[in-house]
Amino acid sequence: MKESDKYHKWVEWSEEDQVYIGKCPDLITGIHGNDPVALYGELCEVVEDVVNHFKAEGRPLPPPQVRPIREVA
C-alpha cells in the first residue's frame, strides 16, 4: 500500500460553485473540476505529490484522521 492510500479522498458536487470538488482534508483543502472521474485521478496525483514533498523535506506526515461515515445496519 502506498502512503497516500492511507488518506481518505472523495469527489462531491458543489451546488454553490457548480463544479465538482475533490477533497482530502488531512492533507489539502481541495481541488475542483468539471469531470468527476478525471478530478479523482488528479486528486490522487496531488495527494501523492504532497506525501512526496513531506518525505523530501524530512517532515512527518500528519496522521490520517478523516474516515467515511459508516451506516449501522
- Grid coordinates belonging to 21: 470538488
Average pLDDT over every residue of 9-17? 96
In the structure, what pLDDT confidence band is assigned to residue 62 with cuts at 50, 70 and 90?
Answer: very high
Which has the higher per-residue pLDDT, 8 or 73? 8
Identify any residues that bridge with 19 across adjacent strands, giving them in sequence order.
Answer: 14
Structural contact between residues 30 and 22, judged by C-beta atoms closer than 8 angstroms: yes
**Residue 4 CB burial class (10 angstroms; 0-12, 13-18, ≥19):** buried
pTM: 0.88
Q: Please, where are the H alpha helices in the chain?
A: 36-57
